């Protein structure tokens, strides 16, 4: 999805608290007015087509025509737009169509763009209940979980901006310490330099960690059942099987084979064609 224009449109949810039977779209019209402000970005004609398809998709969903709704939303993606709301709509459509792999894929893409959105996280957990494979994660230390949660508070750009501001603050404090002649002012400017410098180092470390995490490549199994091999060969030993909707991490690729890693640490090879990249 690199290079796509963010499509800003209304949240398609029925409320903050949802049950498996209430994965519905709220079909308000006002968000489309907001999107109209983005016409200059892609050209009036294309943006008008996006508006038309989105509203038509909402109408189809409201009438229970989930396949037709998904086709309209997919058409928006084909025009080069993406947004958490659009992926969220698609994930809900495919959940209704019982296509669990596609539902997980699009909801994961929605979460990639909006990692702190509670509605997306909730619906993703609901859909995952339908996935056959229940793969436990390797237990992590409390400090590791805490640092990961703290890192998620800001995006990669957020941590980069935080590092830059703190670095500038530290440099300014150092310059002031050099310029000040009074001992008390030199003392406090030095303390501020150390304080901002330490925070800048911490922000820099979180920035690098966040950048590395953002570059990790994840995918979803799209076939009903996939045999995972010990090597990138058709006749290699089958080490385990995975089912539609399971999320894996892609470690590397050799030809049309991908080496994948599961949350529990298992590793194996599958054909690229069975994966939907998040």
CATH superfamily ID and name for 217-277: SH3 Domains (2.30.30.40)
What is the tens place of the pLDDT at every residue in 37-53? 444 444 555 688 888 99
The matching CATH number, chosen from 1.25.40.10, 1.10.3130.10, 3.30.365.10, 3.40.50.300, for 5-128 is 1.25.40.10
Give per-residue pLDDT as tens, 205-241. 999 999 888 888 999 999 999 999 999 999 999 999 9
pLDDT-derived band of residue 141, with 50, 70 and 90 as boundaries?
confident
Which sequence spans correspond to the domains of the chain?
5-128, 142-215, 217-277
Kindly report the number of other CB atoms within 10 A of residue 172's CB atom.
Answer: 14
The pTM (predicted TM-score) of the whole model is 0.70
Largest CA distance in the chain: 78
- Cβ distance 96 to 68 under 8 Å? no
d(CA 193, CA 188): 9
Q: Is 121 exposed, middle or buried (0-12, 13-18, 19+ CB in 10 A)?
A: middle
Pairing assessment for the beta strands 275-277 and 217-221 based on DSSP bridges: antiparallel
Q: Are 237 and 206 in contact (CB under 8 A)?
A: no
Structure-model confidence comparison of residues 154 and 254, the more confident one: 254
């Amino acid at each position: 999805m690199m290079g796509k224009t963010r499509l800003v449109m209304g949240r398609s949810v029925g409320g903050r608290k949802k049950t498996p039977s209430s994965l519905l779209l709220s079909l308000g019209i006002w968000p489309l007015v907001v999107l109209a402000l983005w016409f200059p970005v892609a050209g009036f004609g294309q943006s008008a087509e996006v508006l038309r398809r989105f509203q038509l998709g909402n109408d189809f969903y409201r009438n229970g025509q989930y396949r037709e709704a998904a086709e309209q939303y997919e058409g928006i993606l084909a025009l080069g737009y993406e947004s958490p709301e659009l992926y969220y709509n698609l994930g809900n459509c495919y959940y209704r169509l019982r296509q669990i792999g596609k539902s997980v894929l699009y909801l994961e893409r929605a979460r990639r763009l909006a990692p702190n959105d509670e509605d997306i996280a909730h619906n993703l957990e609901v859909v995952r209940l339908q996935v056959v494979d229940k793969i436990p994660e390797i237990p992590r230390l409390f400090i590791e979980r805490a640092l990961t949660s703290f890192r998620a508070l800001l995006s990669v750009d957020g941590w980069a901006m935080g590092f830059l501001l703190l670095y500038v603050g530290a440099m300014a404090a150092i310059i002031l310490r050099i310029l000040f002649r009074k001992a008390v002012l030199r003392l406090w400017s030095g303390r501020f330099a150390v304080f901002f410098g330490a925070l800048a180092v911490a922000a820099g470390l979180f920035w690098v960690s966040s950048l590395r995490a953002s570059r990790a490549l994840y995918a979803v199994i799209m076939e009903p059942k996939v045999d995972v091999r010990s090597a990138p060969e058709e006749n290699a030993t089958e080490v385990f099987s995975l089912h539609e909707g399971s999320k894996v991490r892609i470690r590397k690729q050799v030809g049309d084979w991908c080496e994948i890693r599961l949350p529990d640490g298992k590793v194996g090879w599958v054909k690229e064609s069975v994966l939907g990249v998040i």
